[in-house]
Amino acid sequence: MPRKILVIGAGKSSYYLFDYLLSKAQEEELELTIADIRPENISPDIANHPRCTVIKLDIFKDADRKNAIDNASIVVSMLPASLHIKIAKDCLQYGKHLVTASYVSPELKVLDKQVKAAGLIFMNEIGLDPGIDHMSAMQILDGIRKKGGKLILFESFCGGLVAPESDNNLWNYKFTWNPRNVMIAGQGGTAKFIQEGTYKYIPYHKLFRRTEFLEIEGYGRFEAYANRDSLKYRESYGLQDALTLYRGTIRRVGFSRAWNIFVQLGMTDDSYAIENSEGMSYRQFTNLFLPYSPTDSVELKLRLYLKIDQDDIMWEKLLELHLFDDQKKISLKNATPAQILQKILEESWTLDEQDKDMIVMYHKFGFELGEKRHQIDANMVVLGKDREHTAMAKMVGLPVAMAALLILNKKIIGTGVRIPIQEEVYAPILSELKKYGINFKEYHVPYLGYNPDFVAS
């Protein structure tokens, strides 16, 4: 009898998820049901597959949602993170396993005892970041511990970027995922981490002036700014005694310094709406954040305000975005500064049809073994095919699909609200991902301690 996998949500990250499950459908006796509010957007080669059924589903219609979940063997939620709890409660009610790529929310975490009591698995954080970052890190961490090593340093970085052959703007960046997340990155708290045994804190207004540099063979130099909470997985990873613990987001060198201009101006603020934003020009929007002057132009005021020389590359980057154009209109009603900035940037940073994206992930492990200190560096670079078949979608969708199948096949058996940090999860998934070109290169290098390049860039 076919096993029914219900996937709720068919966004940009879902193509490889569907493709993988359908490629396994016959041999694994699977039937895939895709439920989405806009089923007409699903690719015909997926929707017309003989083992695939597409249904229209509004998750706020309780009866329809519950019926779809009740008829499934396992449920995959690709909805926005805030909506997972609705699906999770239904899965608990009807006794269904659940898989998501999102961070475990406090609301979901409190269901852990009930999920265990029901003998269910709610696997979360099984996409790219979070997901592949957890699994790849834990595989090396566990390997070091099995040899008797004591972990003293762990650094982890990930970034969704544009591939070198599609990198054709001064920012060396294009949106490869949700632009909203880029706008509000680092907001809502102070970044915190540990450096050589000392707690460190970076407030938001300083975040993009503190970067660490990374070198990846064949791809050059990158920079990384600190994630908001590098200590979040301290206990989960077993790194309570580590002297250095730092997680960051990767960009090309120079991006953070330029992005800091928006932060200092206040353009990334999402806490208030701007009146009459709908008819405002890009130039008028830029002028909102500058001092009044009866004589100075908007350009001159901005350069004086932020001390940017006219021949500075930072100035060229701002010009490239048409921030001083009086003909281009915002066309957003009562929008926040962050929403307006996003609209402006999407005009310049959206992937063209044949553009390729690039995922970069980088881990550093420092450990003591015997009387010596050692270091392992591990990195991975994956390129997309085009705007639809992105590396981002591949690396989010594939681990989700693999986890769902492993749970169905009872290869993952630990119950509760989980993340993929146990060997029963990461070992088979990382092995399977290698078949799709997702593989880490490991380098044993002299122990350097915390990167001395962690300075203002």
Q: pLDDT for 235-260, tens place per residue?
A: 999 999 999 999 999 999 999 999 99
Least confident of 19-23, 122-126, 368-372, 422-426: 368-372
Q: Kindly tell me if the per-residue pLDDT of 54 is higher than 70.
A: yes
Q: What is the pLDDT of residue 447?
A: 80
Q: pLDDT for 343-365, tens place per residue?
A: 999 999 999 999 999 999 999 99
Q: Kindly tell me if the per-residue pLDDT of 171 is higher than 90.
A: yes
Q: Kindly tell me if the per-residue pLDDT of 221 is higher than 70.
A: yes
* Contacts with 265 (C-beta within 8 Å, 6 or more apart), sequence order: 286, 289, 290, 302, 306
CATH topology classification for 3-124: Rossmann fold (3.40.50)
What is the average pLDDT across 55-80? 95
Please say whether the beta carbons of 305 and 291 come within 8 A.
yes
| Predicted confidence band of residue 451 (pLDDT cuts 50, 70, 90) | low
* Contacts with 52 (C-beta within 8 Å, 6 or more apart), sequence order: 18, 22, 25, 31, 32, 33, 34, 46
3-state secondary structure 399-447: HHHHHHHHHHCCCCCCCEEECCCCHHHHHHHHHHHHCCCCCCEEEEEEC
Share of the chain above pLDDT 90, in %: 87
What is the average pLDDT across 217-233? 93
Q: Kindly tell me if the per-residue pLDDT of 217 is higher than 70.
A: yes
Q: Can you give the pTM of this predicted structure?
A: 0.91
Q: Domain 132-259+353-388+439-446, what architecture? A: 2-Layer Sandwich (3.30)
Q: What is the pLDDT of residue 41?
A: 87
- What's the token pair of residue 320? 């490239």
Give the whole-angstrom CA distance, residue 319 versus residue 302.
12
Q: Where are the domains of the chain?
A: 3-124, 132-259+353-388+439-446, 273-335
Q: pLDDT for 172-212, tens place per residue?
A: 999 988 889 899 888 878 999 999 999 999 999 999 999 99
Q: Is there a common fold for 3-124 and 132-259+353-388+439-446?
A: no
